[in-house]
Amino acid sequence: MSQRTLQILNVLGFILVITLNTLANTLPINGYNTGELSGRYPNLFVPAGFTFSIWGIIYLLLLGFVIYQFTRPSREAAVPQRIGPWFFLSCLFNASWILAWHYLLPGLSLLIMLALLGSLILIYQQVYSSPRLEVKGARWWVELPFSIYLGWITVATIANTTAVLVDVGWGGWGIPEPAWTVVMIAVAIGIGLWFTLRQSDVFYPLVVVWALIGIIARRTSEMAEGYSMVIVIAAAVGIGLLVAGVVRKALQKG
């Protein structure tokens, strides 16, 4: 596929995502806005509402990528061809997820979310594969957008899985919900540390930190519940570990 074709597809895909996400909250689609629907599947992993403002940052960064792909450094490094059709496909998955979520199909939304996660992993591999993109602007308009996007979709996939389990009435095999929440937090922390220490990515773990801050904010508003303290402590420990990992990598890079 030619570079020009990929550039056009990327623009069209981004426009589709922005349009559908805007309509989701202005119409709203099926009578619900996206945030309201989280309340239909109550669980302890869902962060405070302000946490979802990260979508604004993600879409601004993706807009930067869409514009950057037309610049001379990007064209010379063949950035669109390096990423291939995966950004366009990720846009289709993003838009499809909105529809499935708003029409109360959590199971289907999880399958689409997994497809979105997979497409972003493939993009990430291409962006960070050898040889690294050393052209001007690539760190801020290629690496940063997809690290942040992948980080948030990783967290969102865990949350979406939890919503599906709530929807089907899963009993947790007799294990209390707070314990499962701590397990999910530990999974998010572990993935964040892997990206930090093995991939030398200081952007991805900061997204996990942001999600953990949201979980702490949500749970501290319910401190009357005894289990909230356990979740808050687990999230706080995770923040400490992730920040320490980021600082260590930053110092190593000088």
Checking if the pLDDT of 224 tops 60, the result is no
- Of 190, 245, 234, 244, the C-alpha closest to 212 is 234
Q: What is the pLDDT of residues 123-170, one digit of tens each?
A: 999 998 867 777 889 999 999 999 999 999 999 999 999 999 999 998
Greater pLDDT, 254 or 159: 159
User: What is d(CA 192, CA 175) in angstroms, rounded to the nearest whole number?
Assistant: 25
Residue 136, SS3 per DSSP: coil
Q: What is the pLDDT of residues 166-202, one digit of tens each?
A: 999 988 788 888 999 999 999 999 999 999 999 989 9
**What is the pLDDT at residue 223?**
61
**What is the pLDDT at residue 251?**
84
In this prediction the pTM is 0.95
Checking if the pLDDT of 20 tops 60, the result is yes
Span 21-26, average pLDDT: 92
User: What is d(CA 250, CA 231) in angstroms, rounded to the nearest whole number?
Assistant: 28
Q: What is the pLDDT of residues 202-213, one digit of tens each?
A: 999 999 999 999
**What is the pLDDT at residue 130?**
65
Work out the end-to-end distance of the chain between its first and last CA atoms, rounded to an integer number of angstroms: 39
**What is the pLDDT at residue 217?**
94
- Mean pLDDT, the chain, as a whole number? 92
Residue ranges of domains in the chain: 1-170, 173-254
Tell me, rounded to whole angstroms, the distance of Cα 17 from its chain centroid: 15
